[in-house]
Amino acid sequence: MISDFLDGQTLFAFGVVLLTVTMMRMSIRRRKGLHKTPETSISAKEVAPVQAASERLDELEVRLHDFDREITGRVETTLALLDRLIEEADHEIVRLETLLEKTLPSNRSGVESTPRDREVVRQLRTAGYGVQEIAELTGLSIVEVARLFDGRDDDEARRAA
Domain count, the chain: 2
Alpha helices in 36-141 (DSSP H): 44-103, 115-126, 131-138
Look at residue 147 and tell me whether its pLDDT is greater than 60: yes
Residue range 77-95: mean pLDDT, rounded: 93
User: For position 144, what pLDDT does the model report?
Assistant: 83
> Which of 132, 138, 135, 151 minimizes the C-alpha distance to 96?
138
Domain-terminating residue out of 64, 85, 103: 103
Domain region containing 150: 107-161
User: For position 160, what pLDDT does the model report?
Assistant: 47
Residue 60 resides in a domain: yes
Direct distance between the N- and C-terminal alpha carbons of the chain, in angstroms, rounded to an integer = 135
Model-level pTM? 0.36
Cβ atoms within 10 Å, residue 121: 25
Q: Which residue has the higher pLDDT, 122 or 155?
A: 122
**Residue 99 confidence class, pLDDT cut points 50, 70, 90:** confident
% the chain with pLDDT above 70: 76
Do 111 and 98 have their domain in common? no
CATH, residue 160:
1.10.10
Residue 31 resides in a domain: no
Residue range 114-133: mean pLDDT, rounded: 86
Out of 29-38, 87-96, 147-156, give the one with best mean pLDDT.
87-96
Q: Which amino acid is at 146?
A: A
User: For position 155, what pLDDT does the model report?
Assistant: 41
Do 91 and 63 have their domain in common? yes
